[in-house]
């Protein structure tokens, strides 16, 4: 079953079966040559030219993550600096949006407490009512109580904003508040 353009290879006849010299498809040869060229360039870059290894790439990525974490404003602000942030109406408005989307499920629409504690009374379980403590609790969460750490899910500005919103609602009297929990803090 030979075609006219096939060339029989001389001396390649085994038990009446003849072998023909059929060239490989052009796309396959081009792919093979491209792979060899890529491998050569890859070898030069990573072995000869000292390109970055996976460990070096990981080290750079971790350094970038640490830089972003260090830039989180929640970690570097004092009570006085937070006071300025908490008085900004734009922060409070943004915080209201974040609160409605993330926090209202557990703390209630009016911050009255549902699964989580009441956030507008004078009783505090974890933060003792300080602004820094509130920001820390929102960022780090309370694992034993089921509150997730929001630092990985929210931007630092959103954490500050939601805390500013909660702080702006202190002393409000929501309908059906959850019973007080924790210690009573007079200065809040």
User: What's the pLDDT tens digit per position in 117-143?
Assistant: 888 888 888 777 788 888 888 888 888
What is the band of 6 on the pLDDT scale with cuts at 50, 70, 90?
Answer: low
- Identify the pLDDT of residue 70: 61
What is the band of 4 on the pLDDT scale with cuts at 50, 70, 90?
Answer: low
Supply 134's token pair: 């509130």
What is the band of 23 on the pLDDT scale with cuts at 50, 70, 90?
Answer: confident
């Amino acid at each position: 079953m030979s075609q006219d353009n096939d060339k029989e290879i001389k001396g390649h006849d085994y038990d009446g079966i003849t072998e023909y010299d059929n060239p490989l498809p052009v796309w396959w040869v081009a792919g093979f040559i491209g792979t060899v060229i890529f491998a050569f360039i890859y070898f030069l870059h990573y072995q000869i030219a000292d390109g970055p290894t996976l460990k070096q790439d990981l080290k750079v990525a971790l350094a970038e993550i640490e830089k972003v974490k260090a830039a989180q404003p929640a970690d570097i602000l004092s009570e006085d600096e937070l006071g300025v942030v908490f008085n900004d109406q734009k922060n409070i408005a943004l915080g209201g949006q974040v609160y409605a989307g993330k926090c209202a499920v557990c703390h209630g629409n009016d911050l009255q407490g549902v699964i989580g504690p009441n956030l507008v009374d004078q009783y505090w379980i974890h933060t003792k009512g300080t602004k820094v403590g509130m920001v820390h609790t929102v960022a780090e969460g309370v694992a034993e109580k089921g509150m997730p750490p929001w630092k990985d899910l929210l931007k630092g500005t959103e954490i500050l904003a939601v805390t500013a919103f909660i702080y702006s609602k202190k002393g409000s009297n929501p309908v059906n508040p959850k019973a007080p929990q924790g210690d009573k803090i007079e200065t809040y």
